[in-house]
Amino acid sequence: MKIVVTGALGHIGSRLIRELPVAFPGCEIVMVDDLSTQRYTSLFRLPDAARYRFLQEDIQSFDLAPVLEGANGLVHLAAITDAASSFDKAEQVEQVNFEGTLRVARQCAVAGVPFLFLSTTSVYGTQSEVVDEECAESELQPQSPYATSKLHAERALEELGRSENLRFITCRFGTIFGVSPGMRFHTAVNKFIWQACQGLPITVWRSALDQRRPYLDLEDAVRAIAFIIERDLFDNRVYNVLTLNATVREIVDAIRAHVSGLDVQLVDARIMNQLSYTVSADRFAAAGFTARGDLRRGVRDTVEWLKNVASRDVRVGI
């Protein structure tokens, strides 16, 4: 088994490259990352159960053809992922997340290698209470350049499937939470946890407190990717992948259980996405996948991880 992972040192990738050998003992994992975020530590202490090869390369210019020889699949994680900051660099986001994805996918089509694309549930901008992959076009209203670039890539993959026989799967991931060697703290759950552990107030828009959105435990995320590869589930369809739908209030309550003296400040402000909706993952469940993640456990593990860092290396609040 040979698996190529682009963006391998990021939040998801750094956990994935450690978990793939559990599902595929003895596999070869080719890690491609441009190290633009300098997460060198993601390469430290890799398990012995796989054969690893690291290539510091940019997907926008790197010739993947030699790497794809004999590969059973490519997991495309390389992307600019911070939705909030994507407004200030929309052109760059589109170039990396859309044009870069298209370039990698075309090389996979030529090589006959299945392509696993990570999109986002942020492509939804719906007034409906529940939304799934069969929603109307009007319910796909991405609220940031990041989400827009992912939707553009989705549509390009559909065309490549028809015109160049690309075998692919698109996974719309919920907002990630959980611990990894290359983790970041710019998305809702992890950002709130970091602020709480620093003794900083969690600032929540008053109108967003009871908005419901989809979230994905990193444990479920890496299990889902392994599940797809193992089942060869490259059927050119879109799948929502999430652990649960939760409100900001539920997230705050989960953090409060592990961080004493949590300060939550409600503010009146215009938010980026005014909508509240529940995302259905029934299609992926029907394919045989069962989510096992847990919001409270994920929060607990992240708080404990930060406490461990504080006790060993540098004071991190708490």
Would the CATH topology of 2-176+216-243 be identical to that of 181-212+245-278+294-312?
Answer: no
- 3-state secondary structure (DSSP) of residue 264: strand
Q: Which of these, 214, 209, 213, lies nearest to 249 by C-alpha position?
A: 209
Q: Could you give phi then psi for residue 40, rounded to 5 degrees? A: -60, -35
Local confidence pLDDT in tens for the 318 residues of the chain: 999 999 999 999 999 999 999 999 999 999 999 998 888 889 999 999 999 999 999 999 999 999 999 999 999 999 876 655 556 566 777 888 899 999 999 999 999 999 999 999 999 987 678 999 999 988 898 888 889 999 999 999 999 999 999 999 999 999 999 999 988 888 889 999 999 998 999 888 777 888 899 999 999 999 999 999 999 999 999 999 999 999 999 999 999 999 988 999 888 755 445 568 899 999 999 999 999 999 999 999 999 988 776 444 444 444
Structure tokens at 163: 């015109």
Alpha-carbon dihedral angle through residues 292, 121, 298, 294, given to the nearest 10 degrees:
-30
When the candidates are 3.30.2320.30, 3.90.600.10, 3.90.25.10, 3.40.120.10, the CATH number that belongs to 181-212+245-278+294-312 is 3.90.25.10
Q: Residue 85: its pLDDT value, please?
A: 59
d(C-alpha 235, C-alpha 10), whole Å: 26
Q: Residue 276: its pLDDT value, please?
A: 82
What residues does each domain of the chain span? 2-176+216-243, 181-212+245-278+294-312
Q: Residue 83: its pLDDT value, please?
A: 58
In degrees, rounded to 5, the angle at the alpha carbon of residue 54 between the alpha carbons of residues 48 and 55 is 170
Contact between residue 185 and residue 197 where contact means Cβ atoms under 8 Å apart: no
Residue with tokens 């956990």: 15
Read off the DSSP letter of residue 84: G
Query: 280-302 burial, b for 16+ CB within 10 Å, e for fewer?
Result: bbebbeeeebebebbbeebbbbb
CATH superfamily of 2-176+216-243: NAD(P)-binding Rossmann-like Domain (3.40.50.720)
